[in-house]
């Protein structure tokens, strides 16, 4: 078991050059692998592959693959497969954003500070691009190097559940009819767990599978991903309300009329709840006893830095 004391001192990513270098190297590895996993724009059918690269390689924080890579490493896994599993989460995330932005869904025109895929190309290409990315994700899992067949099967099953009718897709269809102003916080949290938490669960549990962590530590990591997913969705709701498109780097105002925690409780209570989610996530992460928990906490702090 990794020693909890190896990396226990708090890290400030703005001041710690070693931590910044580690994060930069991890992001570089993720970007390079994502680029290598999708066909070039010169590969037929060129429009489809250009759309894949447009959606997947657009500038992003790569939060999910970073979580997967650092959690796997902190739990003792040293193989390159952690980057691939993280890239799978990013592929599915990109596919979900393509679909979420369609006119029949949220009808958004801007994502990651560039035109959404159906605007840059067309709706049919966007739908096929999302389907292609999702299929590619399963293919990557099936070919993971230096990972046992049993673990690859477990990862495929985990992704199938995360994306399916009890996970991400369930959250998306529930969100389309999310107009019940009488919904409780618990009901909204359940929707958020499906819509946003599913891919956090995959990223974190995928790392746990690779590292073959014990049942108690895996339970702690599951608790971590649950609260982190709730925090991330609430942060997104806050950004949709208080930020301009330039600041958010995507279309905003998409939550108008939806039942959100922000709409239900007001901004002050929502921000307090957001801080509570983050604190609960960090507490669970501590129980997982990873060797690099301070680095992971710093990555989380950076992701939620707008709160300051």
Query: What's the rounded mean pLDDT across residues 297-302?
Result: 93
- CATH numbers and ranges of domains, the chain: 11-307 (1.10.600.10)
Q: CA 202, 203, 208 angle in degrees (round to 5)?
A: 90
Instruction: Supply 274's token pair.
Output: 């957001």
* pLDDT tens by residue, 171-216: 999 888 877 767 888 989 999 899 899 999 999 999 999 999 999 9
Give the C-alpha separation, 198 to 209, whole Å.
16
Residue 254 predicted with pLDDT over 70: no
Q: Residue 198 to residues 65, 83, 228: CA-CA distances in angstroms?
A: 14, 18, 11
pLDDT at residue 5 in the model? 42
């Amino acid at each position: 078991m990794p020693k909890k004391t190896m990396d226990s001192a708090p890290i400030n990513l703005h001041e710690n050059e070693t931590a910044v270098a580690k994060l930069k190297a991890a992001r570089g590895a993720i970007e390079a692998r994502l680029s290598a996993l999708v066909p070039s724009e010169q590969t037929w059918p060129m429009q489809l592959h250009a759309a894949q690269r447009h959606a997947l390689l657009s500038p992003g924080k790569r939060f999910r693959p970073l979580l997967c890579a650092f959690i796997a490493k902190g739990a003792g896994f040293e193989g390159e497969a952690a980057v691939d599993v993280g890239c799978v989460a990013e592929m599915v995330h990109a596919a979900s954003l393509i679909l979420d932005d369609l006119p029949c869904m949220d009808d958004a025109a801007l994502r990651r500070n560039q035109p959404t895929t159906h605007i840059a190309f067309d709706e049919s290409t966007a739908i096929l691009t999302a389907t292609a990315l999702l299929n590619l994700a399963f293919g990557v899992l099936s070919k993971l190097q230096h990972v046992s067949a049993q673990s690859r099967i477990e990862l495929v099953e985990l992704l199938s559940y995360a994306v399916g009718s009890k996970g991400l897709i369930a959250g998306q269809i529930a969100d389309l009819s999310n107009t019940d102003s009488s919904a409780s916080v618990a009901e909204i949290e359940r929707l958020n767990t499906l819509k946003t938490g599913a891919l956090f669960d995959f990223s974190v549990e995928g790392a746990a599978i690779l590292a073959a962590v014990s049942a108690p530590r895996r339970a702690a990591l599951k608790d971590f991903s649950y609260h982190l997913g709730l925090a991330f969705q609430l942060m997104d709701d806050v950004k949709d309300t208080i930020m301009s498109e330039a600041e958010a780097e995507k279309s905003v105002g998409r939550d108008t009329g939806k039942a959100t925690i922000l709409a239900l409780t007001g901004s002050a209570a929502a921000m307090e709840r957001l801080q509570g989610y983050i604190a609960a996530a960090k507490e669970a992460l501590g129980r997982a006893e990873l060797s690099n928990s301070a680095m992971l906490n710093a990555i989380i702090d950076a992701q939620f830095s707008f709160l300051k």
